[in-house]
Amino acid sequence: MSNPTDTPHPDTRSSGPIVETPPLGVEVIRRAVRTLPNSPGVYRMIDSGETVLYVGKAKNLRKRVASYANRRGHTNRIFRMIAATSTMEFVTTHTEVEALLLESNLIKKLKPRYNVLLRDDKSFPYIVIRQDHKWAQIGKYRGQKKKNAEFFGPFATAGAVNRTISALQKAFPLRSCSDSIFEGRTRPCLQYQIKRCTAPCVGKISHADYEKILDDARGFLRGQSQKIQDRLSESMEKAADVKDYEMAAVYRDRIRALTHIQARQDINVPSVPEADVIALHQEAGQACIQVFFFRAGQNYGNRAYFPSHTQNVESGEVVSAFLGQFYARRPPPKLILIDQDIEHRELAEAALTSRTDHRVRLVSPKRGAKADLVRHAKTNAKDALRRHMAASASQQKLLAALSDKLSLEGPPDRIEVYDNSHVSGSHPVGAMIVAGAEGLTRNAYRKFNIKNTDLAPGDDYGMMREVLTRRFSRLLREDGDRETNSWPDLVLLDGGVGQLGVAAEVFAELGITDISFAAISKGPDRNAGRERIHLPGGGRIVLDSNDPLLYFLQRLRDEAHRFAIGTHRARRSKAITGSPLDSVPGVGPKRKRALLHRFGSAAEVGRAGLSDLEKVNGISRNVAQVIYEYFHTEGPGN
């Protein structure tokens, strides 16, 4: 199966005239980009009639979707697609492989007019091990499954199968040739010369030894991979110890290739042939319910719903009301997976069963593949709600509320937020982000490499003093008369009373008296939702946990923190000539070795899903989360 993501990506080779894109579609895309994560996922472009125009997958959702907002470099066809876009929908995934599988499912079901619809897109390809011959053969297969064969998959594309078979042959040199070629050989072929086949055709291996290799291949494809990984890792170390670096590299490449097959995927789940997966997320008095539809073991897409009147309503009550209304006009499947137990579940099941010709079960799974599906839906509900809140909340109202709360002269046109980042004092950086009436202004972000070598390691106050002094000293030099819009109306600091005192001292030293400033600290035990706003003179404000203004300030602070972390990581990576894993907090030599043994390279570690990282010896869930976020959190322009 050809990769359906090859088009309609921007094509700079078009010789047709450039057509100016109407602003509607571009603005829709730009608004969406502001809240998208730097993680893998699938996006849908939808017109005003709710028809899906295009389905695409991305390794980095923010970067991929942002490329459509450019006014040049697209073909006329893509300009028309962008112009017709009135809304977008998104699904985040654990890995890019999952995104590719989901994209394939959605293209088959929705047949969007701007996707390439392939005539041979009838089924997913599999890896097959044929057992109707004395010497079992490994190969690619698409179609109805047959007897006397074992199937492993499905895979998103034929290319993925070919790459996987090639990877398997490096570790498990099984024959891939046809029976006619096998029977006609009189000497080993090239596959034997490059160590990808053991040449059973000319008796270079006994049948018993060949069966051992075959059993290892089966075990690996069934997920029983730890033993094989350990053996390859041990062999790699032994080769390195005797300075046989060429052989060590071979083992390293085998580990790297096999890692591709092991990656977790929750997109197609054969154990869930027909089900709807429903999950709720509530925040700031609003709610989002995410529904995923599984049919024939495949994920056929999802949709987010935003029920009204959910403030101060218990989550179980929201889900119960949704079930009754959602299935009032559509037949329910046999199985509905929900993220929580609800009252009167048996009554709800009976009501849903009465609307169809089969029994309907409501299940709230606690473990296993079904629980993973529910958790994935809940994550997407959380992401969708935050995008919805950011798009629907009036920025002006938030700024007016902020002005009122902080007793400013008026809503601030420019807010600057400052944060620092370092690891035990190494490679310290400061970061500034900018926000205003139009949201985040990323082209105004600034980073500051801390230059003062006299600072004690981890001196956050000293770092903040240097950042603020450099920033506002330069403003005074370049725009002392304040003829431009470069001066902030409000300065927010990520920190507490100490950072606030530093800002007061810097502004006093520079003679700046007309800039309002405040600091935001987390509450007791650093709990989000209990933040405190510290004001000059000792004042302190604590916002209600459901106050939209609190969520607005949290987003600003989190964006400053994200940018600071990304800037610090980029600086440290440049300074270190070793592996990028050296820059990951909490990963020392032992964990680094375990990760490389498991995945083969730092690049493969960066592509791994969270659950894959958790399987590595010595990597806890918390450390896995740190590693995953390190490779998936990027500063603008990275």
- What is the CATH architecture assignment of 4-110? 3-Layer(aba) Sandwich (3.40)
Chain segment 186-196, per-residue pLDDT in tens: 888 888 888 78
First CA to last CA across the chain, in angstroms?
A: 32
pLDDT confidence bin for 228, thresholds 50/70/90 = confident
- Choice between 580 and 48, residue whose per-residue pLDDT is larger: 48
Span of 189-193, 256-260, 402-406, 597-601 with lowest mean pLDDT: 256-260
Q: Does residue 261 register a pLDDT over 70?
A: no
Asked whether the bond before 365 is cis by omega within 30 degrees of 0, the reply is no
The pLDDT score that the predictor gives to residue 254 is 64
Q: Rounded mean pLDDT of 315-332?
A: 84
DSSP symbols for 508-572: HHHT--S-EEEEEE--GGG-TT--EEE-TTS-EE---TT-HHHHHHHHHHHHHHHHHHHHHHHHH
DSSP symbols for 404-431: HHHT-SS--SEEEEEEEEEETTEEEEEE
Q: Rounded mean pLDDT of 318-327?
A: 85
What is the share, in percent, of the chain residues with pLDDT greater than 90? 24
Q: Does residue 538 register a pLDDT over 60?
A: yes
pLDDT confidence bin for 7, thresholds 50/70/90 = very low
The pLDDT score that the predictor gives to residue 420 is 87
pLDDT confidence bin for 157, thresholds 50/70/90 = low
Chain segment 418-468, per-residue pLDDT in tens: 998 876 666 788 899 999 876 788 888 999 988 888 888 778 899 999 999
Q: Does residue 343 register a pLDDT over 70?
A: yes
Residue 37, φ and ψ in degrees, nearest 5: -85, 165
Q: Does residue 16 register a pLDDT over 60?
A: no
Chain segment 477-522, per-residue pLDDT in tens: 888 878 778 899 999 999 899 999 999 999 999 999 889 999 998 8
CATH number of the domain at 399-575, please?
A: 3.30.420.340
Q: Does residue 360 register a pLDDT over 70?
A: yes
Instruction: Report the distance separating Cα 127 and Cα 222, nearest Å.
Output: 12
- CB neighbours of 424 closer than 8 A, spacing ≥ 6? 457, 458
Chain segment 70-90, per-residue pLDDT in tens: 877 787 878 889 989 999 999
**Which residue from 249, 234, 293 is spatially nearest to 269, judged by alpha carbons?**
293
Instruction: Report the distance separating Cα 25 and Cα 32, nearest Å.
Output: 11
Tell me which amino acid residue 54 is.
Answer: Y
Q: Rounded mean pLDDT of 89-107?
A: 81
Residue for token pair 């390190």: 630
Quote the DSSP letter at residue 21.
P
For 274-392, the fitting CATH number among 3.90.1150.10, 3.30.420.10, 3.40.640.10, 3.30.559.10 is 3.30.420.10
Q: Does residue 156 register a pLDDT over 50?
A: no
Distances in whole angstroms, Cα of residue 484 to Cα of each of 197, 478, 631? 70, 10, 37
The pLDDT score that the predictor gives to residue 547 is 85
What is the share, in percent, of the chain residues with pLDDT greater than 70? 84
Q: Rounded mean pLDDT of 407-415?
A: 90
Return the domain boundaries, the chain.
4-110, 126-224, 274-392, 399-575
Instruction: Report the distance separating Cα 638 and Cα 63, nearest Å.
Output: 9
Q: Does residue 225 register a pLDDT over 70?
A: no
The pLDDT score that the predictor gives to residue 153 is 60
3-state class (DSSP) for residue 87: strand
Largest Cα–Cα separation, the chain: 92
Contacts for 613-617: CB closer than 8 Å, 24+ residues apart: 616/591
- Choice between 588 and 418, residue whose per-residue pLDDT is larger: 418
Tell me if domain 274-392 and domain 399-575 are identical in fold: yes
- Please provide the average confidence, as pLDDT, over all residues in the chain: 81
DSSP symbols for 595-627: HHHHHSSHHHHHH--HHHHHTSTT--HHHHHHH
